[in-house]
């Protein structure tokens, strides 16, 4: 996996004005400043979350894609904004291709506005022109951030055109305090180390004609300790099997070794309801879902949820087993991300959950993108890669 590039092909600035914003590519020496920026900025929403790297940012960002590059907005030597792009091997309409990913857009309150976005995206556009590598970039915008929705999708000159693909639903499931064994009513549930990385990777490849943008994982991506599935091991997978046949998989991904999730604030309604919701959860045998503000979330992420024929019974067994596994590994919450058209979403919603919504887009600077051709299959984007 190639770390984010260093240096910059070009800087955008207004000469003679020290108060103006300059944008450039990040270097390894910017790591502390990036951490400081991410710590200071709270993502808006009814549950305002903060995600910070627990290791060097360029290493933590490997899960976003290959050959990632981070763009920084700087004023008077201080980092005031950032965003990054990367490349992902996926399947589109059943064919192995590469697409881009744009994410991590963070801008300090003092410099918010269209001007800094135009400058930052100007450098993104130059990188896109230099590489001419992908026709579009996947990206998401939180539904609780209407200001970002309005600005980014307004087709300002210099910004990419955002083609809406689907709603993206993140379901946060509370975990029972006392784990209990789940044998599986419709198939046997086994750990991935009983199958091995090669068999798991071969089954995951079968998702190429079931989901748009399904990731192209190799057996070498498991147990590697870095890259697209950093920290995810073969024994973190659960598989539904019937004899020698794999019917479905999902993995419980612990990202705490390289990314920390914490709650920075609650909306007024949630703040008032939090004590009663936590009390009710305890009474029902669940871990309290709403920790104090500032506390780290004991959060596991579902990865690679794939079921042969999208069988709802097999998926229910897998997710129930995943919740049991999550509690055994010390998680209080388990999150799964699925798009609106995904046939597994209704089954996931049958479990007690809190739902956060985003919108998935294909962003492009090219005029010839046929967005309708990307809607032939339910889209999938790995929650742990956002």
pLDDT recorded at residue 239: 97
- The whole-angstrom separation of Cα 339 and Cα 357 is 9
pLDDT recorded at residue 185: 63
Mean pLDDT of 296-323: 95
Strand partners, 66: 87
Q: What are phi and psi of 147, to 5 degrees?
A: -65, -45
Of 112-126, 295-309, 361-375, minimum mean pLDDT range: 112-126
Which residue in the block uniquely carries the two structure tokens 């097999």? 314
- The whole-angstrom separation of Cα 116 and Cα 66 is 26
Residue 121 has pLDDT above 60, yes or no: yes
Instruction: Write out the two tokens for 14.
Output: 């207004």
Mean pLDDT of 96-117: 85
Mean pLDDT of 355-384: 94
Q: Are 332 and 136 in contact (CB under 8 A)?
A: no
What dihedral do alpha carbons 60, 95, 208, 230 form, nearest 10°? Answer: -10
Convert the pLDDT of each residue in 176-203 to its tens digit: 876 554 545 667 999 999 999 999 999 9
The backbone region for 338, taken as left when phi is positive above 0, alpha when psi lies in -120 to 50, beta otherwise, is beta
Instruction: Write out the two tokens for 218.
Output: 């190799």
Rounded to 5°, the CA angle 70-87-41 comes to 35
pLDDT recorded at residue 251: 98
pLDDT recorded at residue 18: 40
pLDDT band of residue 207 (cuts 50, 70, 90) is: very high
pTM of the model: 0.89
In order, the DSSP letters of 45-64 are: SSEEEEEEESS-HHHHGGGG
Q: Give the contacts of 258 (CB within 8 A, at least 6 positions apart).
A: 53, 54, 55, 59, 60, 230, 231
Convert the pLDDT of each residue in 20-77 to its tens digit: 889 999 999 999 999 999 888 777 777 788 888 999 999 999 999 999 999 999 988 8
pLDDT band of residue 383 (cuts 50, 70, 90) is: very high
**Cα torsion 112, 132, 66, 381: sign:** positive
Nearest to 310 by CA among 348, 359, 353: 348
pLDDT band of residue 271 (cuts 50, 70, 90) is: confident
pLDDT recorded at residue 112: 64
300 or 41: whose pLDDT is higher? Answer: 300
Convert the pLDDT of each residue in 158-175 to its tens digit: 899 999 999 999 999 999
- The whole-angstrom separation of Cα 20 and Cα 338 is 40
Convert the pLDDT of each residue in 210-238 to its tens digit: 999 999 999 999 998 899 999 999 999 99
pLDDT recorded at residue 237: 98
Residue 126 has pLDDT above 70, yes or no: yes
Q: What is the average pLDDT score of the chain? A: 88
**By three-state DSSP, how is residue 385 classified?**
helix
Residue 267 has pLDDT above 90, yes or no: no
Residue 15 has pLDDT above 80, yes or no: no
Strand partners, 264: none
- CATH H-level, domain 172-385: superfamily: Gcn5-related N-acetyltransferase (GNAT) (3.40.630.30)
Q: How many whole angstroms from its chain centre is CA 375? A: 20
Where do you find CATH 3.40.630.30 in the chain? 22-165, 172-385
pLDDT recorded at residue 8: 39
CATH class (in words) of the domain with range 22-165: alpha beta
Q: Which residues of 53-89 are buried (b: 16+ CB within 10 A; e: fewer)?
A: beebbbbbbbbbbeebbbbbbbbeeebbbbbbbbbbb
Residues in the chain: 386
Instruction: Write out the two tokens for 67.
Output: 């050959």
- The whole-angstrom separation of Cα 50 and Cα 72 is 19
């Amino acid at each position: 996996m190639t770390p984010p590039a260093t240096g910059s092909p070009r800087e955008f600035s207004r000469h003679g004005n020290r108060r103006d914003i300059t944008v450039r590519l990040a270097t390894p020496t910017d790591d502390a400043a990036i951490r400081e920026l991410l710590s200071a900025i709270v993502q808006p929403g009814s549950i305002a979350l903060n995600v910070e790297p627990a290791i060097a940012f360029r290493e933590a960002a490997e899960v976003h894609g290959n050959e990632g590059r981070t763009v920084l907005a700087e004023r008077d030597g201080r980092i005031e904004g950032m965003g990054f792009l990367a490349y992902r091997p996926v399947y589109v309409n059943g064919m192995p291709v590469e697409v881009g990913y744009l994410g991590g857009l963070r801008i300090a309150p003092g410099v918010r506005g269209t001007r800094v976005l135009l400058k930052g995206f100007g450098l993104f556009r130059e990188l896109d022109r230099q590489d001419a590598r992908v026709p579009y970039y996947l990206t998401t915008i939180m539904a609780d951030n209407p200001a970002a929705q309005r600005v980014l999708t307004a087709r300002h000159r210099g910004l990419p055109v955002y083609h809406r693909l689907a709603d993206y639903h993140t379901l946060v499931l509370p975990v029972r305090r006392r784990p209990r064994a789940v044998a599986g009513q419709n198939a046997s549930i086994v750990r991935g180390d009983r199958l091995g990385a090669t068999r798991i990777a071969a089954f995951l490849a079968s998702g190429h004609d079931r989901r748009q943008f399904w990731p192209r994982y190799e057996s070498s991506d498991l147990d590697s300790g870095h890259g697209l599935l950093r920290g995810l091991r073969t024994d973190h997978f659960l598989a539904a099997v019937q004899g020698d046949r794999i019917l479905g998989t999902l993995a419980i991904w612990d990202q705490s070794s390289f990314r920390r999730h914490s709650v920075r604030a609650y909306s007024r309604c949630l703040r008032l309801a939090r004590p009663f919701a936590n009390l009710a959860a305890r009474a029902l045998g669940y871990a309290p879902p709403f920790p104090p503000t500032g506390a780290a979330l004991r959060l596991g992420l579902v990865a690679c949820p794939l079921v042969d024929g999208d069988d709802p019974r097999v998926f229910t067994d897998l997710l129930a087993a995943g919740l049991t596994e999550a509690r055994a590994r010390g998680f209080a919450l388990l999150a799964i991300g699925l798009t609106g058209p995904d046939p597994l979403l209704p089954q996931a919603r049958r479990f007690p959950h809190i739902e956060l919504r985003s919108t998935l887009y294909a962003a492009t600077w090219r005029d010839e993108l046929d967005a309708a051709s990307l809607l032939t299959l339910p889209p999938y984007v790995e929650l742990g890669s956002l």
